[in-house]
């Protein structure tokens, strides 16, 4: 069973991005499993973690990353970039130098915002980090979800339009994983 780790950039319990991640998890095909990897308990990265006993939250996080064969990042945009918690998680997982837990693992990015641009800036800043981390990343479809606050039906289910885009991202990610 291949494991896909989902990292949500928003720390808010009821965030739209967390809800999207849960919807995405429901689309995982047979032979795969998805796990939401929490980042809210991570301390701010400090190089001292790599020269002694790191906090247990860091040890646990790095272990979960090691167990995942691919990742999906679902993020909002803060100040035209990724939220600080997400950037911190990337740093924690990429250290110490030469021991990155991200390297060579396929990834997909879904960015979402109530605004019109769908967190375009965060999506592209995150792509820059993934290039440095040597993570093959889904190129198409690009997933910028603007107006995310309107992506759910009155009964609480996700709109068919949004679900179709998530399925396309899932299909592209599975193809990328299978090429590895």
Whether residue 156 has pLDDT greater than 90: no
CATH class of domain segment(s) 2-179: alpha beta
Give the model's pLDDT for residue 94: 97
Write the secondary structure of the chain as one string of H (helix), E (strand) and C (coil). CEEEEEEECCCCCCCHHHHHHHHHHCCCCCCEEEEECCCCCCCCCCHHHHCCCCCHHHHHHHHHHHHCCEEEEEECCECCECCHHHHHHHHHHHCCCCCCCCCCCCEEEEEEECCCCCCHHHHHHHHHHHHHCCCCECCCCCEEEECHHHCECCCCCECHHHHHHHHHHHHHHHHHHHHC
Q: Please write the tens of the pLDDT for every residue from 115-129.
A: 888 788 999 999 999
Locate the domains of the chain by residue range: 2-179
Q: Please write the tens of the pLDDT for every residue from 24-49.
A: 999 999 999 999 999 999 999 999 99
């Amino acid at each position: 069973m291949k494991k896909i780790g989902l990292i949500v950039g928003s720390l808010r319990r009821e965030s739209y991005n967390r809800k999207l991640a849960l919807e995405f998890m429901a689309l995982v095909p047979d032979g795969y499993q998805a796990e939401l990897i929490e980042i809210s308990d991570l301390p701010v990265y400090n190089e001292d973690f790599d020269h002694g006993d790191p906090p247990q939250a860091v040890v646990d996080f790095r272990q979960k990353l090691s167990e995942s064969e691919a990742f999906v990042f679902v993020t909002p945009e803060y100040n035209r970039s990724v939220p600080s918690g997400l950037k911190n998680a990337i740093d924690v997982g990429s250290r110490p130098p030469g021991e990155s837990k991200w390297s060579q693992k396929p990834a997909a990015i879904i960015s979402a915002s109530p605004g019109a641009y769908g967190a375009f800036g965060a999506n592209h800043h995150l792509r820059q980090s993934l290039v440095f981390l040597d993570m093959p990343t889904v190129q198409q479809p690009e997933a910028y979800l603007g107006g995310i606050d309107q992506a759910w039906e009155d009964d609480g289910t996700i709109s068919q339009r949004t679900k179709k885009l998530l399925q396309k991202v899932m299909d592209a990610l599975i193809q990328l994983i299978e090429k590895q």
